[in-house]
Chain A
């Protein structure tokens, strides 16, 4: 496999929320591009896999969607984060950071017997 990491769904949802949070309303393509560019191409996703995640978030009420026009006047569906989505994002960010810290501390332990 490539060095590009596969993305699992839970993280993808978090990234989508963060993207919408910082960039404002975006269409699916915009979100995909943003994720790729932010990860500096370390992360590659099949754009198609983004849509079930978007749908799930929409079903949960974290985002809403609306048809609109893109920068170059193309019809596209725009997604916008909702209030409940903001809350969800804040919660997940803190959980993620905490989990990250724990794992980091764990990995920082010196090898060998204590």
Chain B
């Protein structure tokens, strides 16, 4: 073994030391022959004869040297080095081709690398938790209420799972709880969670300073401790290492800082209606205190539950154990419904909604790269046609088929490698742009980087690209028959019919892929247009919104909040260009939430069988400012308050909500029902249905006057006649003027709110459009190249036809018909492929079928037009050429 290794090493060294060793060898051979000659002379031969004999005995010196060299180094390696040098020279000789090839491959590989690094970071790389495959979010399923849709967890249930499920190592609970940081600079609202003490251990995160929570800190009175994220610690506390144990002011109360957790730590939150984690970085964690009153067997489904499985336990075991526990709860509340759990792997919770879109993008960019490769292969094929004599001569001189194949392949690999290097460098830049897009709602985007896995992927892609581009031409080069090529002057044989076949097949592939991409782009475009054009039920123009939170001691009293809102509303009316203003707890298009049952007085059904509606608390003026049509009745008014400022019991129903209580009835104003607070309400108006998210039907909604609950956090909606920018600053100024300590979050126009909700779709669409556009252009160039080549090759034949009286128009048609055949075949294949693919991406579409005929017809039209345009110029050249020239052409 050692002997083998040593020989290998010495041969490697020998490959590199070539020239010097050659001189040494020559000297050794000379000395050998001299000695042989001398001995022969001594035996009595004359010098001439002695020398002749010596040469005979020694054998052929050159072939001796040759086999010596073979032994000295690795023949294959030397060949490769030689071919590489040859290849580099070739690239320098054709700067135009080299630039085009490198650039197109660079862009293709770069885009592929960039998209793959996103896919890798978001989908493939495991989450940065300790053994993430054991962590699951647990949500609850009540088929009779919400069908298959899961809802957030109930704290009592979570407590029972912890006690009765042996498969679970930990059960953690979280609840969204923003925190207003005051003291030292502007008041700032940070995103925060209340968590059980074991959540940090559950995820396997260690604080970089201080400690995590203690079990007893979940008790009222001991809960005034906070753990901060490194991000807010650096931003607001200058990374002060002495902060642990210090007191800071949160929501106007004193909290002791217990510890700092790494800024990279992201807690996934599963407490929303949608079974996906919002893409939010939480920065303040406080202990979760659950009072006795919040422990109800069937209610308060408001928490995000996470569990960690014990080693060896399976998801199925855990689910079975939890479901056994679940079965006890409905009877305790007198309900006759089923209650199950849904376990969602933590990675799925975070990235699930992005997966399909990202894979689609990777497939699309892969298709573009494939088209680029095919096009380059075509280009290389035409280049080798012109170098046919060269390879024929080399073959005649004894170059082996393998050698010619290898050399041609190495040339392509070189081009691919330089393109790949360019692409990887470019990918870094693309990624910077991507991750810098603040509105891009892709989870884990901060984790995207060019890591070894991505680099390995790029190297693999580059190699495949080189093989793809190079194999076909290399095969053709090695298959040339040298006799024919040498005998037949130049061009005539250069592209035997078989060559053209191959190239037409390549065109077919290009066209097919482009058509598929175009269809994809078309479907996504239509989806977004339909989504934005959907009947939303509200306006978006000239509306500015701001989210404010009233926290702290002053606003702990509802009357103080009420007074603030009242003064703010009055102040807004003085803004120039004022049309309408209002307050609401939850803006449209921000999702369905706050769901509670309503019912008619005397309804004896169990609570969970009563109709569920979204609750909103709104002020007078909200409907006017948001442009929500009032179908019957009137807006809320100040006289709806009772003298004490308490609600008199009025409500406004959306049409769907009204339909749930009184199907088919008209004249609903004045009717009574029981609202979310189990108190009777009188209907004062029926309003239009409003979408809670653009892609879902409007949910039934009930509006109560805001003073019924006097929320601490509302969105202010302002509609003016002026532009959005001045309105936004006027809105901010108005809030400041009322109370400068009130934090203003997210001042946005309603258009921006909508834009944000479709950002991911728009991102996908933009990329796919770019990819499809690039694909069509590249395919067009490919068609042009092949048709030009075919025309040049047939010049003689076309000349003969012309001389025999063929009309130019007929020749034109002849050429175009032949050129369009592969286009048509490719197009048909591409459309079929896209139709299959469209089913897979059904989840990304909105409002159209995967088989949208309009899209298909449009794409067929575009591709045919591009094809025709690409071949009409070379075809015209054929039809208008000079007969004499054509015939003389040889």
Interface residues of A (CB under 8 A from B): 27-29, 32-33, 46-49, 51-52, 55-56, 58-61, 70, 72, 74-77, 84, 88
Contacts and interface: CB of A to CB of B under 8 A. Distances in A.
Contact of A59 (B6, B60, B67): B6
Contacts of A46: 57-60, 64
B34 A74 contact: yes
Contact of B61 (A27, A32, A48, A77): A48
Nearest to A36: B57
Contacts of B63: 48
Interface string B43-75: 000000000000001111101100110111000
A77 B34 CA distance: 13
Given A29-B36, A60-B3, A49 B25 contact: no
Nearest to B10: A59
Contact of B70 (A27, A29, A52, A70): A52
B28 interface: yes
B31 A76 contact: yes
Contacts of A72: 38
Given A59-B6, A70-B35, A74-B31, A52 B68 contact: yes
B7 A56 contact: yes
B59 A48 contact: yes
Contacts of A77: 28, 31
Nearest to A46: B59
B71 A29 contact: no
B67 A52 contact: yes
B14 interface: yes
Nearest to B54: A47
B11 interface: yes
29 contacts: A27-B35, A28-B28, A28-B32, A32-B32, A46-B57, A46-B59, A47-B32, A47-B36, A48-B29, A48-B60, A48-B61, A48-B63, A49-B59, A49-B67, A51-B64, A52-B64, A52-B68, A52-B71, A55-B68, A55-B71, A56-B7, A59-B10, A59-B71, A60-B3, A60-B6, A61-B3, A61-B6, A76-B32, A88-B3
A75 B28 CA distance: 9
A107 to B, nearest CB: 32
B31 A56 contact: no
Given A52-B67, A74-B34, A76-B35, A59 B58 contact: no
Contacts of B67: 49, 52
Given A46-B58, A74-B31, 16 more contacts: A28-B32, A29-B32, A46-B59, A46-B64, A47-B36, A48-B60, A48-B61, A48-B63, A48-B64, A51-B29, A51-B64, A52-B68, A60-B3, A70-B35, A76-B32, A76-B35
B311 to A, nearest CB: 52
A52 B686 CA distance: 100
A29 B68 contact: no
A41 B796 CA distance: 69
Contacts, number: 74
B55 to A, nearest CB: 10
Looking at A27, A56, A59, A61, the one whose CB has the most chain B CB atoms below 10 A away is A59
Contacts of B72: 55
| Secondary structure dominating the interface of A | helix
A75 B31 contact: yes
A80 to B, nearest CB: 15
A32 B61 CA distance: 15
B59 A47 contact: yes
A75 to B, nearest CB: 6
Contacts of B59: 46-49
Contact of B14 (A47, A51, A59): A59
Contacts of A60: 3, 6-7
Contacts of B38: 72
Given A48-B63, A59-B11, A61-B3, A74 B35 contact: yes
Closest 8 CB pairs of A and B: A46-B59, A48-B64, A48-B59, A59-B10, A52-B71, A29-B35, A47-B58, A59-B7
Interface residues of B, number: 29
Contacts of B27: 75
A28 B59 CA distance: 14
A47 B71 contact: no
Nearest to A53: B71
A47 B36 CA distance: 10
Interface in B485-543: none
A60 B426 CA distance: 47
Contacts of B3: 60-61, 84, 88
Contacts of A76: 28, 31-32, 35
A77 B14 CA distance: 18
A109 to B, nearest CB: 37
A68 to B, nearest CB: 11
A51 B25 contact: yes
B71 A56 contact: yes
Most-contacted residue by chain A among B58, B61, B67, B72 (CB, 10 A): B58
Contacts of B10: 58-59
A4 to B, nearest CB: 12
A83 to B, nearest CB: 13
A49 B7 contact: no
Interface in B1-47: 3, 6-7, 10-11, 14, 25, 27-29, 31-32, 34-36, 38-39
Contacts of A88: 3
A60 B11 CA distance: 10
Contacts of B64: 46, 48-49, 51-52
A28 B34 CA distance: 12
Nearest to A47: B58
Interface string B93-116: 000000000000000000000000
Contacts of B68: 51-52, 55
Contact of A51 (B7, B11, B28, B36): B28
A92 B354 CA distance: 67
A50 B14 CA distance: 18
A47 B53 CA distance: 12
Contacts of B60: 46, 48
B31 A48 contact: no
A51 B6 CA distance: 19
A1 to B, nearest CB: 16
Nearest to B63: A48
A21 to B, nearest CB: 17
Nearest to A33: B39
A28 B31 CA distance: 9
Nearest to B7: A59
Nearest to A56: B71
A44 to B, nearest CB: 8
Contacts of B29: 48, 51
A27 B29 CA distance: 11
A64 B3 CA distance: 14
Contacts of B31: 27, 29, 70, 74-77
A10 to B, nearest CB: 14
A75 B32 CA distance: 10
A2 to B, nearest CB: 14
Contacts of A28: 28, 32
B822 to A, nearest CB: 54
A48 B58 contact: yes
Contacts of A49: 59, 64, 67
A52 B25 CA distance: 11
A52 B59 CA distance: 13
B57 A47 contact: yes
Nearest to A88: B3
Contacts of A55: 68, 71-72
A58 B14 CA distance: 12
B59 to A, nearest CB: 3
Nearest to B13: A59
A41 to B, nearest CB: 12
A95 B693 CA distance: 84
A88 B4 CA distance: 13
Contacts of B61: 48
A72 B70 CA distance: 32
A74 B38 CA distance: 11
Contacts of B28: 28, 51, 76-77
